[in-house]
């Protein structure tokens, strides 16, 4: 029997962080996102999250809430199975507010897969791949970097993503310290657009002199500097990944066509979910590596992305670690172990994460 949407609710999804999540282009002092809830016939409830990163995308919480509240009337009475037309309508409405699109698609797919009695990962593929996230070392002083690295290494993390870009001399020391503390770990660097191509190549050369070999450097130059990305890709032994430069299917196509990068970072909050599927197919077809990343997202959105990674089996790098930076538990059933392993096999229907806004 078809299930229709009977009610739509938009509200804040907030939580404190254990410490500021600082990157080269800005910081999060707390999680301040938007939650979308859709109630459907048959007792089905789907949840979606819009993770707002104003310092990266320019979106705001107020804008996102207002857009979702306006769109709610278009969802009432629609069948869950009609998620694609609703997604297309939302994509047109939210051309400048992609986190709102992500929230709509996430809630719809959560409800749809619940109605089919399936975990969300089966929507993306029939074979479940193991999903293990890296852990981020945010920009901080040397002492805090060492403290964080020791704690996360003891928890079992073996891939460290180190934010760089504000002080390269200090960054060299920070990267070296993490490598010493976590000798068996793989290292990813992320400059969040802070460097020039010359600075990035110089930095990587200095690391090579120290016998430090990162597996990837993410978005070393400003997002519009395609020549800079291509130069680093040509001249460095370290693979280069586009993040801010790859904000759409069109951007991803350009990155591949121009051979500017070795990898692309997909985030639901940049493209929505259905467009992210198209980028995956394009990248796989062209032998481009993929990272699955996130903004500052709660376990709800992080788990949805983990389903995407597990079902598709297409990702070389997983960066879904932000739940580890949230103080307390605002969401139940995160399905995430202390060492970063997502336990998706235990989920029977939908995303499997239910917001608890009372905590």
pLDDT for the residue numbered 25: 82
In 3-state terms the chain splits into helix, strand, coil percentages (rounded to 5) of 45, 25, 35
Cα gap 5→44, rounded to integer Å: 9
pLDDT for the residue numbered 93: 95
pLDDT for the residue numbered 205: 98
pLDDT for the residue numbered 17: 94
pLDDT for the residue numbered 357: 58
Who contacts 118 (Cβ-Cβ below 8 Å, separation ≥6)?
A: 349, 350
pLDDT for the residue numbered 332: 47
pLDDT for the residue numbered 1: 59
Cα gap 209→134, rounded to integer Å: 25
Spatial strand order of the sheet with 44-50 comes to 5-23, 26-40, 44-50
* Nearest partner of 68 among 104, 38, 92, judged by Cα: 104
Cα gap 315→189, rounded to integer Å: 17
Quote the longest CA-to-CA distance of the chain. 65
* pLDDT tens-place values along the chain, 359 residues long: 568 999 999 999 999 999 889 998 888 899 999 999 999 999 999 999 999 988 888 899 999 999 999 999 999 999 999 999 999 999 999 999 999 999 999 999 999 999 999 999 999 998 999 999 999 999 999 999 999 999 999 999 999 999 999 999 999 999 999 999 999 899 999 999 999 999 999 999 999 999 999 999 999 999 999 999 999 999 999 999 999 999 999 999 999 999 999 999 999 999 999 999 999 999 999 999 999 999 999 999 999 999 999 999 999 999 999 999 998 765 445 789 999 999 999 999 999 998 865 53
Q: Which two tokens stand for residue 222?
A: 């400003």
CATH number, domain 121-355: 3.20.20.120
Domain spans of the chain, in order of start: 5-115, 121-355
CATH number, domain 5-115: 3.30.390.10
């Amino acid at each position: 029997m078809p299930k229709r949407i009977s009610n739509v609710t938009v509200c804040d999804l907030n939580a404190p962080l254990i410490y500021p999540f600082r990157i080269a282009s800005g910081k999060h002092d707390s999680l301040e996102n938007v939650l979308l809830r859709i109630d459907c016939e048959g007792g089905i409830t789907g949840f979606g999250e819009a993770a707002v990163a104003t310092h990266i995308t320019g979106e705001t919480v107020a804008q996102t809430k207002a857009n979702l509240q306006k769109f709610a009337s278009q969802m009432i009475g629609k069948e869950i199975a009609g998620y694609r037309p609703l997604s297309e309508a939302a994509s047109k409405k939210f051309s400048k507010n992609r986190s709102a699109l992500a929230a709509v698609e996430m809630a719809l797919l959560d409800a749809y897969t619940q109605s089919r009695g399936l975990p969300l990962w089966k929507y993306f593929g029939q074979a479940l791949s193991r999903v293990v996230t890296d852990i981020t070392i945010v920009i901080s002083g040397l002492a805090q970097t060492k403290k964080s690295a020791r704690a996360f290494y003891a928890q079992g993390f073996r891939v460290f993503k180190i934010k760089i870009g504000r002080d390269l001399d200090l960054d060299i020391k920070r990267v070296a310290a993490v490598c010493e503390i976590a000798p068996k770990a793989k290292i990813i660097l992320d400059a969040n657009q802070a460097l020039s191509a010359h600075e990035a190549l110089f930095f990587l050369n200095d690391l090579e002199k120290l016998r430090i070999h990162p597996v990837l450097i993410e978005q070393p130059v400003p997002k519009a500097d395609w020549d800079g990305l291509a130069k680093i890709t040509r001249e460095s032994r370290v693979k280069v990944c586009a993040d801010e430069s790859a904000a759409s299917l069109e951007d991803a196509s350009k990155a591949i066509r121009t051979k500017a990068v070795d990898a692309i970072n997909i985030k639901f909050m940049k493209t929505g979910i259905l467009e992210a599927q198209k980028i995956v197919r394009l990248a796989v077809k062209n032998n481009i590596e993929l990272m699955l990343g996130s903004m500052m997202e709660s376990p709800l959105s992080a788990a949805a992305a983990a389903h995407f990674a597990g079902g598709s089996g297409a990702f070389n790098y997983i960066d879904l670690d932000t739940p580890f930076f949230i103080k307390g538990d605002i969401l139940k059933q995160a399905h995430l172990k202390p060492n970063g392993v997502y336990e998706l096999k235990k989920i029977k229907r939908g995303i499997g994460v239910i917001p608890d806004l009372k905590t």
